């Protein structure tokens, strides 16, 4: 399979084999049972106001050009899920709206790797495109990685950061994982790799061995697998068929520009999203929604040195981050050291925990070593 050749050269065959040996179980535990499984979201973000008129560069046009499994839409299992989605159009649309900030970027990554466009729709099945989704079995994020699988793929979980919730990091990891499994176990067969992504390579390999022993075909569509896995690709192919021709299926598909809604910015010093919002004028909720991996609302070079910002605010944010930090009027700065807490800092400077929180846009008490905090000075205010 030529689409895998370039990836093998980039990743390295030896590391690929070692990684797959450690990841013979599924990436996640349980896909979303149906598109209405996630909570309803009403928060309004900047991407709700992105261009909705049809453009030559519409992201669905790009995706349609890269869909490669549409011939599967005639399978009875796929037809079942097409009918299900057609009967629940509002759920389909709500999930696609949730995908708005991510869809163009993910589609581009999938296409760049030479993978079928259907791969970009896996989060529809896995998490209903909710990057904060968590299953009762412990899977988390857009791609629903279990903790052990995420750790093995480099998605760290420490110090206020969970890489499984980081859309950029987890997407790259998921695509690596799917390609690696296809090459290691299935001679490039991506459908079998996706089945293994859901159920684990061990489960799929045993099913293939049993089918071969009976003289039956060993491709995905003929295997006896757990019910969830039997429906995994049919769901994926069903939503792909609807996106390929939404009008024929009675669904008014929201159009999304074929350009990422966010920009990636590298941070060299700790930064709190509340602080960033205050100094740059970017909406705090938008920053939080784009950076779900920052579980405590702060980025730190030692754990997560990249933050996502609305693309239209990239230059403003970069300008603020490149300006040397100076104490705010009527405030002094405190650089957090090991052992510091908000209460100890407040006592040291004659302030209060609540004042420090409000002044720095903090939601809780978690702070990082090296973080700069503006401390309100009551003595100055009194003068």
Give me the CATH number covering residue 354: 3.10.350.10
**Burial bucket for residue 152 (CB in 10 Å: 0-12, 13-18, 19+):** buried
For residue 189, being part of any structural domain is answered with yes
Q: Running along the chain, 383 residues long, what does each successive block of 10 average in pLDDT? A: 41 50 56 46 52 61 97 97 97 96 97 98 98 96 97 92 98 98 97 98 98 98 98 99 96 91 91 87 95 91 90 92 59 79 77 82 84 65 26
Q: Does residue 88 sit in the same domain as residue 219?
A: yes
What integer pLDDT is reported at residue 44 of this predicted model? 52
3-state secondary structure string across 227-255: HHHHCHHHHHHHHHHHHHCCHHHCCCCCC
Cα separation, 200 vs 82, whole angstroms:
26
For residue 186, being part of any structural domain is answered with yes
For residue 208, being part of any structural domain is answered with yes
What integer pLDDT is reported at residue 364 of this predicted model? 84
Asked if 307 contacts 282 with a C-beta cutoff of 8 angstroms, the reply is no
Asked if 121 contacts 68 with a C-beta cutoff of 8 angstroms, the reply is no
> Nearest 5°: phi and psi at 225?
-130, 170
Q: Does residue 150 sit in the same domain as residue 89?
A: yes
Sign of CA dihedral 356, 358, 362, 364: positive
For residue 254, being part of any structural domain is answered with no
Number of domains forming the structure of the chain: 3
Q: Does residue 285 sit in the same domain as residue 354?
A: no
As a whole number of Å, the end-to-end CA separation of the chain is 74
Residue that the structure tokens 């061990």 belong to: 202
For residue 368, being part of any structural domain is answered with yes
Q: Does residue 200 sit in the same domain as residue 334?
A: no
What integer pLDDT is reported at residue 159 of this predicted model? 78
**Burial bucket for residue 54 (CB in 10 Å: 0-12, 13-18, 19+):** exposed
Q: Does residue 336 sit in the same domain as residue 207?
A: no
Query: Count of CB atoms within 10 A of residue 373's CB?
Result: 24
What integer pLDDT is reported at residue 327 of this predicted model? 47
Q: Which helix (H) or strand (E) holds 198?
A: helix 190-199
Q: Residue 354: which domain range? A: 327-383
* pTM for this model (two decimals): 0.76
Cα separation, 178 vs 19, whole angstroms:
12
* Domain end residue (candidates: 249, 278, 313): 249
What integer pLDDT is reported at residue 199 of this predicted model? 97
Residues with catalytic function:
126
Q: Does residue 192 sit in the same domain as residue 210?
A: yes
Q: Does residue 217 sit in the same domain as residue 298?
A: no
For 34, half-sphere exposure in the C-beta direction (CA atoms, 13 angstrom radius) is 13
For 322-357, the pLDDT digits (tens) are 875 554 445 677 888 888 888 888 776 667 888 888
For residue 112, being part of any structural domain is answered with yes
Q: Does residue 301 sit in the same domain as residue 333?
A: no
What integer pLDDT is reported at residue 303 of this predicted model? 82
Cα separation, 310 vs 364, whole angstroms:
24
Q: Does residue 137 sit in the same domain as residue 12?
A: yes
For residue 255, being part of any structural domain is answered with no
Query: Which CATH number goes with the domain that contains 230?
Result: 1.10.530.10
Q: Does residue 300 sit in the same domain as residue 342?
A: no
What integer pLDDT is reported at residue 240 of this predicted model? 98
For residue 338, being part of any structural domain is answered with yes
* Domain end residue (candidates: 229, 249, 269): 249
What integer pLDDT is reported at residue 99 of this predicted model? 97
* Domain end residue (candidates: 280, 297, 323): 323
Q: Does residue 219 sit in the same domain as residue 337?
A: no
What integer pLDDT is reported at residue 355 of this predicted model? 81
Question: Taking Cα atoms as reference points, which of 146, 152, 190 lies closest to residue 18?
Answer: 152
What integer pLDDT is reported at residue 36 of this predicted model? 44
Burial 7-35 (b: 16+ CB within 10 A, else e): beeebeeeebeebbeebebbbbbbbbebb
What integer pLDDT is reported at residue 140 of this predicted model? 98
Q: Does residue 288 sit in the same domain as residue 155?
A: no
Q: Which helix (H) or strand (E) holds 332?
A: strand 331-335
């Amino acid at each position: 399979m030529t689409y895998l050749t370039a990836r093998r050269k980039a990743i390295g065959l030896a590391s690929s084999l070692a990684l797959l040996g450690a990841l013979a179980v599924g990436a996640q535990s349980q896909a979303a049972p149906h598109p209405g499984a996630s909570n309803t979201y009403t928060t309004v973000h900047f991407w709700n106001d992105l261009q909705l008129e049809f453009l030559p560069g519409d992201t669905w046009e790009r995706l349609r050009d890269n869909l490669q499994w549409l011939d599967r839409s005639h399978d009875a299992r796929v037809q079942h899920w097409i009918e299900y989605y057609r009967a629940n159009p509002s759920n389909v649309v709500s999930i696609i709206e949730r995908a708005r900030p991510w869809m163009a970027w993910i589609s581009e990554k999938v296409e760049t790797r030479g993978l079928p466009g259907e791969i970009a729709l896996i989060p529809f099945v896995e998490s209903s495109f909710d990057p904060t989704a968590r299953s009762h079995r412990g899977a988390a994020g857009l791609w629903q990685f279990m903790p052990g699988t995420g750790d093995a793929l480099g998605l760290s979980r420490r110090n206020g950061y969970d890489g499984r919730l980081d859309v950029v990091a987890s997407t790259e990891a998921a695509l690596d994982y799917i390609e690696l499994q296809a090459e290691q176990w299935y001679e490039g067969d991506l459908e079998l790799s996706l089945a293994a992504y859901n159920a684990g390579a061990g489960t799929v390999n045993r099913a293939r061995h049993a089918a071969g022993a009976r003289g039956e075909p060993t491709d995905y569509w003929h295997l006896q697998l757990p019910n969830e896995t039997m429906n995994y690709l049919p769901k994926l192919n069903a939503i792909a068929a609807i996106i390929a021709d939404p009008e024929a299926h009675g669904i008014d598909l929201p159009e999304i520009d074929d350009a990422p809604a966010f920009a990636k910015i590298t941070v060299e010093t700790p930064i709190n999203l509340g602080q960033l919002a205050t100094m740059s004028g970017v909406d705090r909720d938008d920053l939080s929604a784009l950076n779900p991996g920052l579980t405590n609302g702060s980025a730190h070079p030692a754990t997560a040195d990249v933050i996502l910002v609305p693309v239209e605010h990239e230059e403003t944010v970069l300008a603020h981050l490149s300006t040397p930090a100076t104490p705010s009027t009527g405030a002094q700065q405190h650089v957090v050291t090991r052992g510091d807490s908000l209460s100890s800092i407040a006592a040291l400077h004659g302030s209060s925990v609540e004042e420090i929180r409000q002044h720095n846009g903090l939601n809780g008490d978690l702070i990082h070593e090296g973080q700069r905090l503006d401390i309100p000075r009551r003595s100055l205010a009194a003068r």
